[in-house]
Structure formats: C-alpha cells, structure tokens
C-alpha cells in the first residue's frame, strides 16, 4: 500500500537492465502484483470510495497490461527446446522467430 513492493520490483528491473540480465521475470511479477491489486479492488466494491476505486482500477489495470507487454518487448521468450511441452503452454515459440520454410 505504501509502494514498497513496487520499489523492490522496479529496482529489480533497473538492476537487471544495468547488468544485462533478463528482465522478463521482474516485469511479469510486477504485472501479477498489479493484477492482484486490480482484482482485490474490484472485489472490495463499495467498501472503498468510488473515486479511489475507479482510479485504482485504471492505474492497476494499465500497469498490469504495460508490464505484460513490456516483458515481451524487452526480453522475448526463447525458442522451445524439443521435448519441453511446457514451453508451448508458456508462450515460447517452437521455432526461432524469423525461421520458416
């Protein structure tokens, strides 16, 4: 509620970018956390003021979408190795991008 989680996740992204390390996991974790904020705000309904609820829905929803999109843009998934069916379920292409007949 005071932004500690967001600071930690944001620092993880910045440090990973600085070190040339993958950022996808950090961004996906951030998107998941924002999605949880969105769902809990919606479930709270009238227990919180309408203006706060609408602002949280817009901000958390937008942040979740941005995090999910950025995770794919900054750190695309690697190609799936043969024999790893879970790779298909997690969105990893079976062939490298640009490969084809």
| Mean pLDDT (the chain, rounded) | 82
Q: Annotate 32-56 with DSSP letters as a single string.
A: HHHHHHHHHHHHHGGGS-HHHHHHH
Q: Which structural domain, as residue segments, surrounds residue 32?
A: 16-75
Residue 100 forms part of a structural domain = no
Band of pLDDT at residue 15, cut at 50, 70 and 90 = very high
Other beta carbons less than 10 A from residue 72's beta carbon = 13
The domain tally of the chain equals: 1
pTM attached to this predicted model: 0.70
Residue 95 forms part of a structural domain = no
Residue 60 forms part of a structural domain = yes
Residue 57 forms part of a structural domain = yes
pLDDT beyond 60 at 18: yes
Residue 99 forms part of a structural domain = no
Q: What is the pLDDT of residues 53-91, one digit of tens each?
A: 999 999 999 999 999 999 888 877 666 566 666 666 666
């Amino acid at each position: 509620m005071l932004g500690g989680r967001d600071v930690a996740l944001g620092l993880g992204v910045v440090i990973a970018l600085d070190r040339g390390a993958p950022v996808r996991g950090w961004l996906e974790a951030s998107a998941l956390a924002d999605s949880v904020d969105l769902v809990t705000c919606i479930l709270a309904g009238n227990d919180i003021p309408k203006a706060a609820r609408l602002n949280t829905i817009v901000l958390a929803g937008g942040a979740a979408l941005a995090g999910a999109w950025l995770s794919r843009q900054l750190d695309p998934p690697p190609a799936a190795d043969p024999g790893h069916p879970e790779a298909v379920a997690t969105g990893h292409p079976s062939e490298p991008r640009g490969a084809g007949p």
